Amino acid sequence: MISALAVAVPVAMTAVPASAYVFNNVRIEGNQRIEPETILAYLDLPRGQDVSDGALNDAYQRLQNSGLFETVELVPSGGTLIVRLREYPTISVISFEGNKRIKDESLTEIVKSQSRRVYSPAQVEADAAAISQAYAGEGRLAARVDPRVIRRSDNRVDVVFEILEGELTEIERIGFVGNRAFSDKRLRNVLETKQAGILRRFIRRDIFAPERLSVDENLLTDFYRSRGYADFKVQAVSPEVARERDAFYITFQIQEGPRYTFGNVDTISEIPGVDAGEFAEQNRVRSGAVYNPTDIDTTIRRMEALAIRKGLNFVNIEPRISRNQRDQTLDLTFALTRGQRVFVERIDIEGNTTTLDEVIRRQFTTVEGDPFNPREIRNSAERLRALGYFADVQAESRPGSTPEQVVVDVNVEEQPTGSLSFGASYGVSSGVGFNLSLSEQNFLGRGQQVNLSFATGSDTQSSGLTFVEPYFLGRDLRARMQIWYNTTDRLNSDYNTRSVGFLTGIEFPVSQNGRLELRYKLSKDTLFDVDPIEPDSETGIIDGSSPILYYEQGGYFTSALGYSYIYDSRISGLDPLTSYRLRFSQDFAGLGGDVESITTAIYAGVESRAWRENVTMLAEFEAGAVHMLGDDDSRFLDRYTGNGKIRGFEPNGIGPRDLDAPNEDALGGNYFWALRTELQFPLGLPEEYGITGGLFADAGSVWGLDNTAGFGNEVDDDMSIRAAVGASLFWTTPIGPLRFNFSKALKSEDYDDEQNFDLTISTQF
C-alpha cells in the first residue's frame, strides 16, 4: 500500500448559478513539466459558451485520470477558470530490497515503471503485483511485495520495492477420486508433479506449477489407456491452497471405465490394386492382448513406411474401432483408404537466428512438390527436437495457393548448444578424477559438432579433439576427425603406456536402419617403464614384471584401414518398446607402420520394455579377435584386456597371466568374448527420490597369446570362463547420477583380481 502520496482530492468550485458557467480565460497554476497546451487539451472546455456542472466535472475527471497530476483543483472565478495542479514527481531511482531468488536484472524487466519517467501510484501497485506473480511462478505464493516511495528534492522520488520472498509453497498432498484399478501411490508416480517428501530440499517438482497440470492430465490418460482403459477421462483437477498459503492440495477426479482387450483384428484395402495382405504382415496388434494405443500407432507407422517403400502416395491407414460392451473387447480394422491429393507447396522456416535453413531442411524427407504426408511432417519435427539445437519446434500446415497445396510452417526457438563443463568422477578402482570439456553441438549454426576434452585420474590422463560433420558435401555422409593423447600409470601393473593418434572416417546409410563407416587410423603406442625381475635394493624381495612384457616394451606405429557396419532399429523407431543394435567391424593394419594385423570385433545388443513399461531388460554380447600377419607376434597394446567388459573384476583383473612373474601381470589376450544381462526396475519408492534398482549377470573370457614358450615361464592363456552376478542401486542426485554395484564372482581363477563393490559418480558443475 502506498501511503506517502495522496491519490485524489475533491474538486473545489465557487458557487455559481446552477444553470451554467461562462469562461473567457483559463489560468493554469502549478505546472512545471506539463505544457499548458496539454492541460487545455485534457480540459476540452469551450470559451465564451455555457459550461454545465457536468461538463466541468468531466473536465476534472479527464485531468485526474491522465496520470500526470497528484492533485487537481478547478476554481471558477468570474469569467476565468483557475486550474491549480500539482504534478506527480519524476522517478529518480527504482530499487529492490530483500530479493535473493530473483535477481535485480530480472525484476527490472518485470516492472513497467522507469527512472526519469512520471511516477504513477497505479503503475507502481501493478508492478508490485507483477513481482508477486513472478514469485508465485517460482513456487513462492507467500511472497509479499511492498512498494515504498521516498521523496527527494526537485519533485523527485525514489521507488523501493521491499520484498519478503517467503518459503516455497510445496504440494503437500496429491489425491485421486474415482480410481479403483490403481492406488493413489501408483498414480502419483505417473505424474510430472510430485508431492513433498523427505527429500523436499532437493526435489523441485513438488512446487505447484499450474502449467504442469495439463501435462499431468495427459500422462494419466496415456497411463490408463496403455493398460486397456480406452474410456478413461480426467473429469476435473482441483488445486487448493492452504489458508497460510504455504501448501497446496491437488485432487484429480477421474473416471476409469472398463478395461478392454483386442477382439478381432483385420486389415482391409479400399484402394483398387493395393493388396491388404502385404500390409497385414506389418500388424503388431494381437487378438486377446490388452488394448494399447501405442500398438495401434506402431502398426500404422509400419504400414505407412511400407506404403512409402512401395511408392504408394496419398494412402491413409485408418484404424476403425468397434466396442463390444458385453465382453469388453474392441474389434479393430486397419483400413487402407485413398487420401486427398495434396502436395507441399513450400516449407517456411522461422525463428532460426543461428542455425542455417539447410540444417533444418535436411531433417525433412519431404520437399516442395512432394505429396503431403502429415505423419512424416510430425516425424521430421521430432527429428529436429532430437538434435538438441532448439528449445521448441512446431511444424504446422496451412492451405496453400490452391486447394491441392499446403504450406508447412516450421517455427523453431533456438537454445544454447555450446557448453563448458568441469566434471568429477570416482571409481573404487580408478579413484577420483577430474575433467574439462568444451563442446559445441551446432558449430556456427551448421550442425557440426566440436569437442575438446581433458581428463585426469589417479592413474590415467587423456585428452582429445573431435570434429563431426553430419552432412558432408550436403549429403547424408557423417564425416569425423579425431585426435587423442592418452597415458596410463601402473593400473594394477608395473608398467606405463602412452598412445597418441589420429583417426578420420566417413559414415553413410546402406539400408533403412543400417549404416557403414569407412575409416583410417594412425597411432603410436608405447609400453614403457616395465620393471625387470630383480630383488629390491632395500628389502631384498624379488619383484618385477613378466619377461614377455619386458620384451614387448617400446613404441611402434600402427597404420590401419577399417570399416564398421552398424544396425540400429532406433533409427526408424517403428518399435518404441524394443530396440536392437548390431555392430561388426574390422581393421586392417599394415598400410605402412610397424604392425601387420587384422582386428575383428562384433557387438549385439537388445533393450526392451515390452514385458513391463517400467522394467527395462538389457542383453549385450560382444567378442573380438586379433590376428597377426606374417611372422609378427601380437604385443600388449594390440591385445584385449577385458576392461569394462565383465563386472565383478578389477581393470586388468582377468586374462592371461605369467604365473612365474612376481607380480603376475595381466598380459592381455588375442581373443575375448563377453555376455552381459541386466534388469532395471523401480523399488517401490516415490519416483521423485530418483532411486531404482537392478540385477545383472555377466560372463566372458580373455585368452590367447602368440608366443609364450620362448620365455620359459608358466603362462596361463587358456579360455577360462569368468562369471559374476550382482545388484545395482541407481540414484539420481543433485550432484549427478550415482550407481552402486554389488557383485560376486561365481567363476574365476586364483590369480584374478575381483571387485565386489563399485561406486561411480559423474557430475558437472
Adjacent-strand bridge partners of 440: 418, 450
**Residue 534 phi, psi (nearest 5):** -165, 160
User: Which three-class secondary structure state does DSSP give residue 449?
Assistant: strand
Give domain limits for the chain: 21-87, 90-164, 170-255, 261-338, 343-414, 418-434+482-764
**Rounded to an integer, what distance in angstroms lies between the CA atom of residue 672 and that of residue 76?**
106
Do domains 90-164 and 261-338 share one topology? The answer is: yes
Beta strand spans in 597-706 (E): 597-612, 615-628, 657-658, 671-682, 691-703
**Rounded to an integer, what distance in angstroms lies between the CA atom of residue 667 and that of residue 549?**
7
Residues in CB range of 386: below 8 A, 6 or more apart: none
Q: How far is CA 650 from the centre of its chain?
A: 33
Mean pLDDT by 10 residues, the chain (765 residues): 36 45 86 84 85 87 84 87 87 90 88 87 90 81 87 88 83 90 88 69 60 87 92 90 76 94 93 90 90 89 86 88 92 91 90 90 86 84 86 89 91 84 57 75 90 80 92 90 87 78 95 92 93 70 80 93 93 74 96 93 91 87 94 90 89 87 86 96 77 94 84 83 94 74 93 85 45
Residues in CB range of 712: below 8 A, 6 or more apart: none
What's the pLDDT at 119?
A: 87
**Rounded to an integer, what distance in angstroms lies between the CA atom of residue 387 and that of residue 572?**
15
The four Cα atoms 507, 509, 513, 517 give a dihedral, to 10 degrees, of: -30
User: Which three-class secondary structure state does DSSP give residue 253?
Assistant: strand
Q: Which CATH architecture has domain 261-338?
A: Roll (3.10)
223-228 long-range Cβ contacts below 8 angstroms, 24+ apart: 223/187, 223/190, 224/254, 224/256, 225/291, 225/292, 225/293, 226/292, 226/293, 226/294, 226/613, 227/181, 227/259, 227/290, 227/292, 228/259, 228/260, 228/261, 228/290, 228/291, 228/292
What's the pLDDT at 541?
A: 64
For the domain bounded by 343-414, which CATH number is listed?
3.10.20.310
**Rounded to an integer, what distance in angstroms lies between the CA atom of residue 378 and that of residue 395?**
7
Q: Quick check: pTM over 0.75?
A: no
Q: What nine digits make up the cell of 496?
A: 606405463
What's the pLDDT at 386?
A: 81
Pick the CATH number of 170-255 from 2.160.20.70, 3.30.1370.10, 3.90.480.20, 3.10.20.310: 3.10.20.310
Q: Which CATH architecture has domain 90-164?
A: Roll (3.10)
- For the packed helices 374-387 and 293-309, what is the interaxial angle rounded to 10 degrees? 100
For the domain bounded by 21-87, which CATH number is listed?
3.10.20.310
Adjacent-strand bridge partners of 606: 580, 619
What CATH class has 418-434+482-764? Answer: mainly beta
